[in-house]
Amino acid sequence: MTFYDARETRDPAERERELMARLPAQIAHAKANAPAFARLLEGVEPAAVTSREVLARLPVTRKSELLEHQKAARPFGGFSTARWGAGCRRVFASPGPLYEPEGARPDYYRLARALFAAGFREGDLVHNTFSYHFTPAGSMMETAAHALGCTVFPAGVGQTEQQVAALADLQPNAYVGTPSFLRIILDKADELGVRQTFTKAFVSGEAFPPSVRDAFAARGIAAAQAYATADIGLIAYETPAREGMVLDEDIILEIVRPGTGDPVAPGEVGEVVITSFNPDYPLIRFGTGDLSALLPGISPCGRSNLRIKGWMGRADQTTKVKGMFVHPGQIADVVKRHPELKKARLVVDNPDLNDRMTLHCEISESGEALAGAIAASIRELTKLRGEVTFCAPGSLANDGKVIDDIRKYE
């Protein structure tokens, strides 16, 4: 079997219809059972939210805001419908701390699809080196492996010599963890004269450059990666085609301009915003804080869902200038005030160690009057003085940066 299920090869139009048909019920569920969404979506009629255009009018809740929400309303800030007991099997803490519920459904984080695409199958013995305490990564991978019929050795992190001893004794054929720890285990196995038995690996949690992938392949290990978070679960995953990452079947993804909720043009880099169909943690327009971009077309592997480039950096570009915070949303507001602007990027530098802000604006026709009006908007919205420079449409890099802080303090 090449695909996890028939949904992966559906006609894209059929998939879109199904997602939009499911959306009103999820919004109604969130409003009725998650107090935070009852407030955020007050006045929103769930039955009317049946398209991406309407969805884009709803507010974005960013991961960076969750900590304050959770401090005000423990444990989940009013965003979860889960209650202690059979419906909430575990609760985890990510750095912050941010608390996340784990429901009782099999493959709660939906990562089985990604493991399957990486070649994991029933009967595999999976050596899982993600942490099993505090953070959910160990459980995320284990529940997915169990859904596929794999057996899991819960190795956890550290204790390299014991990891290699287990490798020698159990001879697992599959590895799950970070790519850097796999390299450490392999090096230690070589040092101790232990034959490594991994033939496949699923890695996440850090960068996975082609050079590292090739090094694993040279040792007979086919490795793949995915993009997932503790809040959402699986977002996108690599396939054997190795051309971008294919979206999971049970999310709606938008790419928005950082600091706003406005979708960008296809192919433009922006912040990943996800609407989840998880009934226990029904996150509606959840801003992950990560940058990515859509890829055109469908994957050569035959999976027909949208593809993204993968993780491309952080979207929260807030910086402090002369003691004042400057946010991407403020720059977006400047652009909205001046329809002549196609795109803008605020560059912060410090010649002679004096902070300076310059707004680089893509525009077809420039003029002193417009420059003055834009400068006035910058001052009004940020309470700071900013210079304005014009450039040709399309000249600013497509990297998702709204604020580029290039100050040096040497």
Cα pseudo-dihedral 163, 169, 170, 173, rounded to 10: 70
Tens digits of residue pLDDT in 171-195: 999 999 999 999 999 999 999 999 9
Query: Do 319 and 403 touch, CB atoms closer than 8 A?
Result: yes
Overall average pLDDT of the 54-73 stretch: 93
Overall average pLDDT of the 159-182 stretch: 96
* 205 Rama class: left (phi>0) / alpha (psi -120 to 50) / beta: left
Mean pLDDT for all residues in the chain: 94
Displacement of CA 391 from its chain's centroid (Å): 31
Phi–psi pair at 18, nearest 5 degrees: -65, -45
Count of residues making up the chain? 410
Tens digits of residue pLDDT in 254-269: 999 998 999 999 999 9
* pLDDT of the residue at 410: 59
Residue 293 has pLDDT above 80, yes or no: yes
* pLDDT of the residue at 207: 84
* pLDDT of the residue at 409: 65
* pLDDT of the residue at 348: 94
What is 112-179 written as a DSSP string? HHHHHHTT--TT-EEEE-S--SSSSHHHHHHHHHHHHT-EEEE--S--HHHHHHHHHHH--SEEEE-H
Query: Do 198 and 173 touch, CB atoms closer than 8 A?
Result: yes
Query: Do 299 and 238 touch, CB atoms closer than 8 A?
Result: no
* pLDDT of the residue at 312: 87
Overall average pLDDT of the 240-253 stretch: 97
Query: Do 127 and 174 touch, CB atoms closer than 8 A?
Result: yes
Tens digits of residue pLDDT in 314-333: 887 888 888 788 988 899 99
Of 94-98, 238-242, 292-296, which gets the smallest average pLDDT? Answer: 94-98
Closest to 254 (Cα-Cα) out of 235, 239, 229 = 235
Cis peptide before 75 (omega within 30 of 0): yes
Overall average pLDDT of the 18-32 stretch: 98
CB contact burial 91-130 (16+ within 10 A = b; e otherwise)? ebebeeebbbbbbeeebbbbbbbbbbbbbbeeebebbbbb
Tens digits of residue pLDDT in 353-387: 788 999 999 998 877 899 999 999 999 999 999 99
